[in-house]
Structures are given as C-alpha cells and as structure tokens.
Amino acid sequence: MNTSHQTIKTIIVDDEKPSLDVLSNYILEYCPSLEIVAKCQSTALAYKAIMEYNPQLVFLDVEMPLGTGFDLLKRFKNINFNVVFVTAFSDYATRAFRVSAIDYLLKPVKVSDLIEAVNKVQQNINQKSFKSLTTLLENLETPGTPVRKLVIPNSKGFQAINPADIILCEADGYCTNFFLHGKLKITSSHHLKFYEEFLPAEMFLRVHNSYIINIGYVTGYSSQGEIQLSEGISCSLSASRKQEFFSVFKKFK
C-alpha cells in the first residue's frame, strides 16, 4: 500500500481489548496511511472521541454490551466519516451490509481483508458521500422485512434506489443493468444473482436466466415469448419459467 503524505485519522471501537489490540497492530504494520487517534471500548467513549478528533475512518464493532455500533451511528445527525464494521456473527446484519454497499470485516480479521477495506476507503475518501450508512440504518430498522432501499455501486460511486422503482433487472456479463421508473438506467458491478436474494419475492420474479421483472410493471405478453413492461421495456420469457410466470401474474392481477 502506498503511503500518503496526508494520513487518514482513524478510530477503532471494540469492547474486547484483545480484538482491539490485534486490529490496532495490523493497522500499524500493514496500513501506514492510517493514523490511529483513539481506541475505544464502548460506544459512549467512541462518541466523545469522534466528536473530539473528527476522524475520516472508524472501525466499528457491531455487537457490544452497552450499545451496538448501529446505536452509536444513530446518535449522529450527519455522518461525515467512513465506517468499516467489524463483526463475528449476525447473518441479518451482514446481509444488510451487502445490500447497502457497506464494507465489513469478519472476526477474526484477516490482514488481506483489512488491506482491501482500507484500499476502498482510500479510493472513496474524497467523495464525501455517506448516504450508504443512512441506507444501512434504514434497512436495519425492521429485521426480517424486505429492504427499504438498495445501494447500487457504479463507476462514479453508488446510487440508493427504492425496489418499487425497479422495472427490470438485466444480466450483462458480470454486471447488472437496472431499468427504473422514469426511463432511468443504472449499471452495477455486481452480477444478477447477487441482487436476486434482496429483491422482495412478492414483487419480483425471475423469468429468464438474464432477467428479473417487477410484476407490477407487466403490461402484456406476446406470442413470440416477450414480456411487455411499462415505459416500452420488454424481455424474453424462458420456456422453463412460463408456467410460473402465468401463475404468479394471474394471482397478482
């Protein structure tokens, strides 16, 4: 990793001292661009440190006995620092991280994962856009329910979208094209399968290896095997999924 003349002010938050020390030592040895300005073992101490040092990066433990990492973030009206979450478990939380395009490290932390996360922070440090953290908190408010927003990474950063605005998801090699209400199109660097598990099953249906549709936007079906959707969009319906499509569409209508 290249050393920058301007270091990234960093705070580590973890209630377990051994974990705190391990991560701190890894950073000192492998991440010279980071300057650790505080190490905190509670959300209360972390809040004070963030207010005092105004860090650019916070490594934040998820599960702590006196308040979670999410509780800490909710205390800030405006989040103006990068966050890399550190967690040992919680399938729901890691799922929310993925759908919100938030970086996280699994315990025990691997050096290679840490370096990759820091590289991403370095690339994004000048964007000064932290909307993905707000989206994460929104998605975590109601565990077990469909995500409220989906964060789509792209070449310019990311875009948070409402799943209800998605008309069609199209596989494009290793990428995914999203066709949105209002004749908008955005492309993600993630493949279609990545998003399939996050889209509400009652609203979306896979109709082809390359297509997932929003049933609410279906306007018709042609004898040539084409599904017509709103705003002039269409896609193919595979023979193997035809029966499911008509069954779901009939119930939906």
Whether pLDDT at 127 is above 70: no
CA distance 53 to 32: 19
CATH code at 57?
A: 3.40.50.2300
97 and 131, same domain (yes or no): yes
pLDDT at 2: 44
13 and 133, same domain (yes or no): yes
CATH code at 195?
A: 2.40.50.1020
Pairing of strands 226-229, 211-214: unpaired
Q: Is residue 96 part of a domain?
A: yes
What percent of the residues of the chain are helix, what percent strand, and what percent coil, each to the nearest 5? Answer: 35, 30, 35
DSSP state of 109: P
Q: Which of 27-41, 84-98, 135-149 shows the lowest per-residue confidence on average (mean pLDDT)?
A: 135-149
136 and 182, same domain (yes or no): no
Pairing of strands 34-40, 204-208: unpaired
Q: Which of 1-5, 131-135, 212-216 shows the lowest per-residue confidence on average (mean pLDDT)?
A: 1-5
Q: Is residue 154 part of a domain?
A: no
CA distance 69 to 40: 12
CA distance 10 to 63: 20
Whether pLDDT at 201 is above 90: no
Whether pLDDT at 149 is above 90: no
Q: Is residue 149 part of a domain?
A: no
Pick 107 or 250 by higher pLDDT.
107
pLDDT at 3: 41
Omega before 108 cis (within 30°)?
yes
Q: Is the pTM of this model over 0.75?
A: no
Pick 3 or 140 by higher pLDDT.
140
Strand partners, 203: none
What is the span of the domain harbouring residue 210?
A: 161-252
Strand partners, 8: 34
20 and 133, same domain (yes or no): yes
- pLDDT tens, position by position, 82-104: 889 888 765 656 666 666 657 78
CA distance 48 to 51: 5
